[in-house]
Structure formats: C-alpha cells, structure tokens
Structure 1
Amino acid sequence: MSKELREYAIVDIETTGGSAERSKITEIAIAIHNGTEVVERWESLVNPQQAIPQAIFSLTGITDEMIATAPAFGELADTVYAFLKDRVFVAHNVNFDYSFIKHQLAEAGLPWQAPKLCTVRLARKIKPGLPSYSLGRLCDMLDIRVQNRHRAGGDVTATVALFDLLLASDSDAVLTQMLRKNAVEQRLPANLSQHIFDNLPVSPGVYYFHDRSGKVIYIGKAINIKKRVAGHFSGHNIQAKRQGFLQEIHDISYERCGTELMALLLECLEINRLWPKYNRALKRLEPKFGLVNYTGMDGYQHLSLTKLLKYQTCIQSFYSLREGAAVLRKMINTMGLDIRFCHFPLEVRMPPTANDLVRRIQDLPDQESYNAKVEAAVALVQEDASSYLIIDKGRDEQEKSCIWIEKGKFYGMGYIRAESQSTSLQEYKNELQRYSGNAYMMQVIESFLAKGVKQHQLIRIDPEQLDEAAVAKPATLHMKLL
C-alpha cells in the first residue's frame, strides 16, 4: 500500500483483565484515518461472557448490566475484521490491543495480522524528553481535550487527536521509517528507546531489563546479546505475564563476557544477588539435600543424609536423595563405617546387608578410633574434589577469561592480562573476583566441560605451583593430575 493510499485503523479496547488468553474484550472502538482525517468511526460494547471484576468496573465504569444485552465478540468479528483488513493497526501501547483482537478474531475463525504502529513509540520519537508517555499525561501536556477516559470511544478520540498532532509535527518522516516492513522498532516494548537496543553488542554476555525506576526486573545470558534480546520481543504471546513484562521494560544494560560459560556463571551470580521478579527458572535449581556430620550425645561422629536448610553447610550436596544415598552407602562400604552412626531418610533406606546386621550386634567401636575413621572418610570425599583453572578467550585480545575451582567448589572468576606470566596459585587468585558459588554453578561448569568444547582448556593444578609453560600458552594447555 503506497503512502498516499495508506489508511490507519486507530483502535482502543476495554477488557476484563490483562491477559488475552484468559480475559475478554468488553468494549471496542475503531476510527479509520486516511492520513489526513477520520473518514469512518465505529464502536460497540461487547459481552465478554464472563463477570467484570470490581477493579475493572472501578476503572472503566462498565458494569455487568451494561454488557448483558451486548453482542458477543463472535457476532461482531466480521465487522471488526472488515474495519481492520488492509489497514495499519494503530493504538497507544499497540501490543496490548493487538494481542486481544488477534486472539479473539482467531477464535472466531478469522486469522488476521497487520502492520502495527504504536503511538507511544511515535510520540517518543517525535516529542522526545517528555516526563511521561501515558495517554492521559500526553494529552495533558499537549493540550488535547479528553472526555470519557478509560472508555473505548473516549480513548480512541484522544488517540486520534494525538495521532493528528504527531503527523503535523513529523518533519523527519518518522512514521514512514517506523512502518518499514519488518522494522525492528515495531517489535520493541513501547517504553524502550530504539537507540538503547541499537547500542547492544553482538558479543557474549549478560543483559539486564530495568523498569521505570531503574530496578532490574529480568536478567539473561546470551552468546549474542543483541540477537537474544530481540528474541524476547518477537512472536505473539497472549499471556498476561508476557504483556506485563514488556510494558515494564524501560531500559537495558549489559555486561560483556569473554565466553558463553562466563556469561552462564555471571547470570547465575547476578540472579542470586538481585533476585529479579521475572527470573524464575534459576531460583528453583539449588540442591535440596546434603550429607552432614555431627557429634552425637553419645560422643560418636554421625553422618546423616538430610534435607538442607537455607545457608546450611554440608560435606556434599545433592539434587536427589537417591544420589546422596549412593554416596553415603559407598562411604560405609569402602571405609568400614558403622551403620549405627549413618542415617538415611526413610524414602531411600535400603534393606540391611549381612555386614550391616553383623555391625549392629557387635559392641560399639572405640570412640576415638571410630571418630578418626569418620574424619578420614569425610576428608577423602572432599579430597576427591579437584582444583583447576579454566582459561579461555577474553572480551578482547588483550585478556583471557579465567575461572577457578577449588576442591570441587566454585571459587571465583575474572579476566587476566593476556601476557600474564603468573605461575603461582596466589598470583592467579589475586587477579580474580571472589564469588560465593553454588552447586548449580558447578553443575553448569561440569556439564559444559563434559561436552568437550575444544576452546575450553582445563588444567588440574598442584596447589603449590602452576606449570609456567602451560599457562603462558593457553592454546596448548594440558591435563595435569594432582
């Protein structure tokens, strides 16, 4: 459609809630604009066939009685489709209205899509620097008279007036640029400036979505930050959580990383530090069980497989009781521990073996020697955990990324100078940022290394001395067993 012939369907709807998946339209208004003036207008109440919540009534004034005799959307679908077909869909915060209408037209058997134009984004481009771009505040600041706010007809009238004002002020052909086919800007959240998106890097790293106050509401990691961020804004998702999420995004910041693994670890650390409201997956990935030892009232050292309390320390943590039971059973068998001082939860308690039965009828062992045996068993489990460095690409050619694992636990990470000649453990540690890791991060590291990704070179190091030749040439790093 040429610019001269382009027509715009300026739309506003009222709904029973924020989710096109569960909520329904209660009122719709459409004004057809030819680029100069409104040439046709239509509006109607809609029976949502569900009760109107009190909060919605308080906002719009629409009652159950008002919509009781109104047509259902299915009865209006052909009319709505005819108004929207082959026209640019215009609305204030366009993705909200578009998601509802697209979903309900599809339910009526009328698949539809259209180019979208958001008057929030258009106003930000043509009238930059205003303190707010909500429809009500814009109208106040631009001297646009508004009647019947939060009713579809009143808000469409306000949006038409705003649209006319913006067209008259569009000396740089902003609208034409925004309507270019597949324009990235049309997919961005209404409150996010395009220059923020344009300045995102295409490198690995961690990105942060911020709300209006600057608070971080989501953290993600990416091999290509710009591409991954764009992926958040593509597709057609009708869930309320998705719509609310997009409306809250006002800014994006980022932290570049040398590798995907560094980004994975930083993402986990930052989620644990900031606990953003929209990050849920990583919050559920901490191990729930652990092997602990304690001195009982009888003076003996006991080992117990138990559910971990928050911040509780343990010998070793596990994601399942079965995994922990296997480790404790192995300690009993290999170190000759007494079953009477080893405790399993009922769910993983195994039938006693012949050796277990023999131990149970024997006299108690010498306390001092038995406690020493338990301490030796615990030390053996902990010593089985290795220490090593992972050295890989940095954020540029002047540095390398470095991750330090100490006795099976994440110690820290950071970036070291590419020409670094450090040969001692302490020298490396001094160049790294110390972090408090967790079991999930170790799972990430071990899984990443198990894939055999060639560019990640693993060395297991002697705590006293690094192999200077190996560290100086990370491309030829080799396995060095303790």
Structure 2
Amino acid sequence: MLYAIVDIETTGSYALGNGITEIAIVIHDGERVLHVYETLVNPQRHIPLFIQSLTGISNEMVVNAPTFDEIAAQVYELLQNKIFVAHNVNFDYSFVKHHLSEAGYELNLRKLCTVRLARKIVPGLKHYNLGKLCHHLEINHNNHHRAGGDALATSDLFAYLVARDSEEVIASMLKGRNSEQYLPPNVPIEQLDSLPPSPGVYYFYDVRGKIIYVGKALNLKKRVKSHFSNNKAGKQKQDFLRDIYRISFKPCATELMAHILESVEIRKLWPLHNRSQKGYLPQFGLFAYEDQLGYMRLAIEKNKNHFKPLYTFNTIIEGHHWLRQMITEFELCPRLCNMAKSADCENGIDATGCTGTCGANIDPAFYNERVKDAVNWIQTHLPTFILLDQGLTAEEQSCILIRNGNIYGMGYIKEERLLNDLDKLQAELEPLQDNDYIRNLVYKHAAEYPEKCISFNLDARN
C-alpha cells in the first residue's frame, strides 16, 4: 500500500474562490519516503498580504511558475492508486480535488488525516497542530508553512504513527466508508457514534465551547453524518467544517418536537452558522389605539419593535380576514378599523350595517365597548387544544399546549388527569415563547392528525 502525503499553500481558506500557490506530494510506503514532488504554482490571482507574510510566497515568486492546469496531469498520476494523507486532510483534499476537476480530472481516493490519527495513537496532548505536534514528538520540522517543509514533516509524523499503531487504527480508518475520513479533524468519532438513530436536536461547538450551529433531525446519527459526507469547495462549507470541535444532542420523542426545539434554540442562541429562522418574525399584527376624538381604532399593520400587537399573522390577508369578521360580528366602523378611507366607507369593505359611527354620531365610550367586546371575542375564538403523541418512553406521552391561539409549553406527561386541568398541565410543561413559526408548525400538524388533538371550549374552562 502506498501513500501520497500532500501539503499545499493557497490564497485563501476555501477552494471555490482561491488558488493553490505551492504543492508538495511525498510518496511513502508507511516506513520511508520513495519520491518527493514539489513546485510553486501560479494561482492566477493576487496573493493576500497576510498570506504572503505567513508563507513567504509572494506574487513575484509565482509569476513564472506553472499554473495548476499545466501540472494537473502529473499531480493526478502521482495520486492515483494511493491513500491521500494530509494534516487536516479534508482541507488539502478539497483544494486538490476541486482544481483537478477544473482541469478535467476526477479525484476519488481514500483519505487519512494525521490530526485524527495522532489523537488516537498519541492521545492526551494539548495541541495537535503540525508544528507543536512535531516539537512534542521531536520530529524535525523545517520550513514551516511551505508545502515541501510541511509535507516532509507530515511524512515523518506519519511514519512515527504507523510504527506505533498497535491497535490498527489506520486499518480501521480505511475500512469501507469510515466516518473518520469525513469528520472535521477535531471532532471525536465517539461523539458521532453516540448519536441515536432517533429524533432530536444536535449542537455543534467551536474550540471555545460556544454553540455555532443547531439542527433538527428525524434520525440524529444519519443527519449529523450528512453534514460531513461531502466536502464542498465553497467558503461557507469549509468555514463550517473548520469551526466544529464538539457535538452534543437532546433527544425528542417526535420530529415535530425536534422542529420546535430547534426553532427555540436558534432564537435563543443565535448560532454563527445558522442562516434560517434568524430573520423569521411574524409580519403583521392586530393593533388597537385611541384616536384624538377618543375612538378606539383597530388596524392590521406590519409589526413594530415598540408596540405589542393583540395578535400576530403571517400575512395581511389572514389579518384582514379576522378583522372583517370582527367588523361584521360587532358592527364596528370599517373606517375606524382602517378598512375604508372615506368618511362614508364607500371606498372600503362593504359597509352594510354601518350605524354612522364614521361621522362620530355614536358616543366614543359606547363604541369603544364594542371594540373591547370584539377583542375579547377574537381571544375566545382562537383555538385551545392539547396535541398528544408518543413519549420518549412507553410510560409517557409528549404534549404540546396551545391556549387562546398561542403556544404555551411542550414536554412529557405520565398522568392523564393533568389533561383535565389546563393550568396544572401548563405548570408541568417547559414554557415556550410564542412565535408564528412554531405556532404554524403545530397548527399544520394538528390539521393533519386531528386524532392526536384534545380541544377545549374556552368559555367553559377559562
């Protein structure tokens, strides 16, 4: 078995938008070096100053160097039928694979990461970056941050690890589609192995222990593995993989509960790499205010930071639907509900039954009582129900409580008697901050599975 130990220097951290400035490939048999290939590469783009300072490779040094297209055939032949080895292998592999693909060559090799190997064969060290690892193991490492120097140091490290691989870690990592080949270098495989094939929410942490991503899953093990099953060359993917150091999870009884918990956690933690839901807010609300004449007005408006709506809606159409019902049911003035522009309501909704309130012919106090009744009406006509489903164990049930149209809590219950007392039930559940996103998830699920719902008559119970 032969190994191609690779190191590259680049213009940036991700392959899709950056070039290779230097590449070294050391052909190794596990004991000794058989061949060394090394060359500067013209990346055909500017090398940032901080990278010039780090590597010592300047724009002037690569101007007459071959482009990657010109060396692609030679690189491809050197790598064929070898195990691709590198320190943080997925970084180097993503660049080489991407640029070979751009030149018309498809790379598909098994990989070994010397960071992951060292963590298993030489456990307990504080640092596993190449420089500090070589220093600790007394491995010669000259010419730091240059492809040739780093590749030769990695080859010596690899030989050191092979010689001490008494538990056949390398063979295990190369067996089939082993997850070790795809995991970020700093994530312990044990954390991936501990994930159950069941619903839940998972968390990715950075080197400081901060949560940087929250996700939901119907199958935790399968979903988390999927994050690492491809090594896309874009910046977002590469930054994401590089930042992950630890994984944890919380089990949930159902996919719906995992979906809800994910939303709650994202809004609470605002993880760096979560994009969805951060900007999700209910768009419209029902607002009440008093005008200069003392009339209580209602309006469906876009939500405002400093004014709390009586209720929220995803669309203005949904809001207007409820407001029209209130106008009809309680003989409210369309103009005072901002549903008509003119004094006689002729340009608004159908004003049949309008009692002249638009002309201020009704005492404000009398009219405002109608508005209060209408507001109470919408509160009592919003649904109250319990959504029951399977629990984490056979002895319990999962429970989600909606009261007056708002989500109040979620959790697990063992005593069915709690279902007869909403206040006691609510006290047993984990409180949830109501938002339209979660509420709509529950409403949709309840509509699909009405047999899981227990509905309540608010007038009778509240």
TM-score by length of 1: 0.89
Report the equivalent of 2:428: 431
Q: Distance in 2 between matches of 1:355 and 1:291?
A: 20
Query: Any idea what SS the aligned residue of 2:423 has?
Result: helix
Offset of 1:397 from its aligned partner? 1.2
Structure-2 change in CA distance of 1:60 and 1:226 (3 Å)? same
Deviation at 1:285, TM superposition (A): 2.1
Indicate how the Cα distance of structure 1 residues 463 and 73 shifts in structure 2: closer, same or farther if over 3 A, else same. same
CA contact (8 A) 1:305 1:344 kept: no
Residues 248-287 of structure 1 aligned to structure 2 (within 5 Å): 248-287=243-282
Structure 2 stretches lacking a partner, 5+ long: none
1:324 aligns with 2:319: yes
- Distance change in 2, residues 1:177/1:428 (3 Å): same
8 Å CA contact retained: 1:397, 1:418:
no
Q: Pick from 345, 352, 360: which aligns with 2:348?
A: 352
Asked if 2 retains the 8 angstrom alpha-carbon contact of 1:8 and 1:87, the reply is: yes
Shift of 1:463: 5.3
After TM superposition, the structure 1 = structure 2 runs for residues 173-252 of structure 1, keeping only pairs within 5 Å, are 173-252=168-247
Structure 2 match to 1:69: 64
Rounded to whole Å, the distance in 2 between the matches of 1:464 and 1:428 is: 18
Equivalent in the alignment of 1:391: 388
Q: Which runs of 4+ in 1 moved over 6 A?
A: none
Mapped pair 1:296 → 2:270: no
Matched residue, 1:411: 408
Aligned pairs, how many?
458
The structure-2 alpha-carbon separation of the partners of 1:404 and 1:421, relative to structure 1 and needing over 3 Å to count, comes to closer
Looking at structure 2, the residues matched to 80 and 404 of structure 1 have their Cα atoms a distance apart, in angstroms, of 61
Q: In the alignment, is the contact (CA less than 8 A) between 2:8 and 2:21 conserved in 1?
A: yes
Distance 1:38 1:97, change over 3 A: same
Residue 25 (structure 2) pairs with residue 30 (structure 1): yes
- State the alpha-carbon separation in 2 of the partners of residues 200 and 65 from structure 1: 50
Aligned to 1:479: none
Deviations 1:110-159 (A, max 9, x none): 11210011111111110111111111221122122222211111111111
Cα pair 1:425 1:465 within 8 Å, conserved? no
Counterpart Cα distance in 2 of 1:345 and 1:104: 63
Contact kept, 8 Å, 2:97 with 2:106, in 1: the verdict is: yes
Measured in 2, the distance between the counterparts of 1:79 and 1:350 equals: 80
**1:435 CA displacement:** 2.2
Shift of 1:398: 2.1
What is the Cα-based RMSD across aligned positions, in Å? 2.4
The aligned counterpart of 1:8 is 3
- Once the two structures are superposed, what CA deviation does each residue of 1:320-360 show, in whole Å capped at 9, x if it has no partner? 334334433443344332233223699xx994356399958
Q: Which residue in 2 is equivalent to 1:470?
A: none
Larger mean CA deviation between 80-89 and 377-386 belongs to 377-386
CA positional deviation for 1:419:
6.4
Distance 2:424 2:364 in 1: 43
- CA separation in 2, counterparts of 1:397 and 1:418? 13
- How many percent of aligned residue pairs carry the same amino acid? 44
Question: Shift in Å at residue 405 of structure 1?
Answer: 0.7
Per-residue CA deviation, residues 183-236 of structure 1 (Å, 9 max, x unaligned), is 122121111111111111122111111112211111111111111111111123
Q: Deviations over 1:31-55 (max 9, x none)?
A: 0001221100111111111111122
Flag the 1:434–1:363 CA change in 2: closer, same or farther, 3 A. closer
- Cα distance in 1 between the residues matched to 2:314 and 2:426: 29
Indicate conservation of the 8 Å contact 2:388/2:399, yes or no. Answer: yes
- CA distance 1:371–1:360, change in 2 (3 Å): closer
Task: State which of 331, 334, 350 in structure 2 corresponds to 1:336.
Answer: 331
Correspondent of 1:45 among 33, 40, 48: 40
SS across alignment from 2:106: coil
Corresponding residue number in structure 2 for 1:122: 117
Say whether residues 1:441 and 2:448 are aligned partners.
no
From 114, 120, 138, the equivalent of 1:143 is 138
**Which aligned pairs between 1:353-368 and structure 2 lie closer than 5 A?**
353=349, 355=351, 362-368=359-365
Mark the CA change 1:420 to 1:212 in structure 2 (over 3 Å): closer, same or farther: farther
* Structure-2 separation of matches of 1:407 and 1:314: 14
Amino acid in structure 2 at the alignment position of 1:337: L
Structure 1: runs of 5 or more not aligned: 1-5, 467-481
SS of the equivalent of 2:17 reads coil
CA distance in 1, matches of 2:86, 2:417: 57
Task: Identify if the C-alpha distance between structure 1 residues 290 and 428 changes in structure 2 by more than 3 Å, giving closer, same or farther.
Answer: same
